[in-house]
């Protein structure tokens, strides 16, 4: 079957760094997306990894290891507005996005 595993909730301090881990099992693999979703809003695209390694985009970086079925999203210099849910979504062999429940990130001052 297809499965996504992310922590349900994480708490971090403003200005700090946080790493949100994701492990996945899919039927085939065509890359992995990370999305941010604020409460009551639609998701917004953050990053896409298809090859192993780290992709950096400003304060956010995303890492992928295909052999381990593992990805993480790294958020630096945390701001209060980063409080949101972060969704890890791999793309399977049929190019269908598989959605997990996401990780709710709470930022404290």
Partner 1 sequence: GAVVSQHPSRVICKSGTSVKIECRSLDFQATTMFWYRQFPKQSLMLMATSNEGSKATYEQGVEKDKFLINHASLTLSTLTVTSAHPEDSSFYICSARRQENSPLHFGNGTRLTVT
- Contact residues for partner 1, defined by CB under 8 A: 30-31, 33, 40-45, 48, 50, 87, 91, 95-97, 99-102
CB of 69 to partner 1, least distance (A): 18
How far is residue 5's CA from residue 17's CA, in Å, rounded to a whole number? 21
- Give the DSSP letter string of 19-69: EEEEEEE-SS---EEEEEE-TTS--EEEEEE-SSEEEEETTEEEEEETTTT
Nearer to partner 1, 44 or 65 (CB): 44
How far is residue 23's CA from residue 42's CA, in Å, rounded to a whole number? 23
CB of 15 to partner 1, least distance (A): 27
Nearer to partner 1, 75 or 103 (CB): 103
* Distances, alpha carbon 10 to alpha carbons 20, 22, 37, 77, 78, in Å: 8, 13, 15, 16, 13
Nearer to partner 1, 44 or 79 (CB): 44
CB of 44 to partner 1, least distance (A): 7
DSSP 95: S
CB of 4 to partner 1, least distance (A): 9
Nearer to partner 1, 14 or 41 (CB): 41
């Amino acid at each position: 079957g297809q499965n996504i595993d992310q922590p349900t909730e994480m708490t971090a301090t403003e200005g700090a760094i946080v790493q949100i881990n994701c492990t996945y099992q899919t039927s085939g693999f065509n890359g992995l997306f990370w999305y941010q979703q604020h409460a009551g809003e639609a998701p917004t695209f953050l990053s896409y990894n298809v090859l192993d390694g780290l992709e950096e985009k400003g304060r956010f970086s995303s890492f992928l290891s295909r052999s381990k079925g593992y990805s993480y999203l790294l958020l630096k210099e945390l701001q209060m507005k980063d409080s949101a849910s972060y969704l890890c979504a791999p793309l399977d062999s049929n190019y269908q996005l598989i959605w997990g429940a996401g990780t709710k990130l709470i930022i404290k001052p």
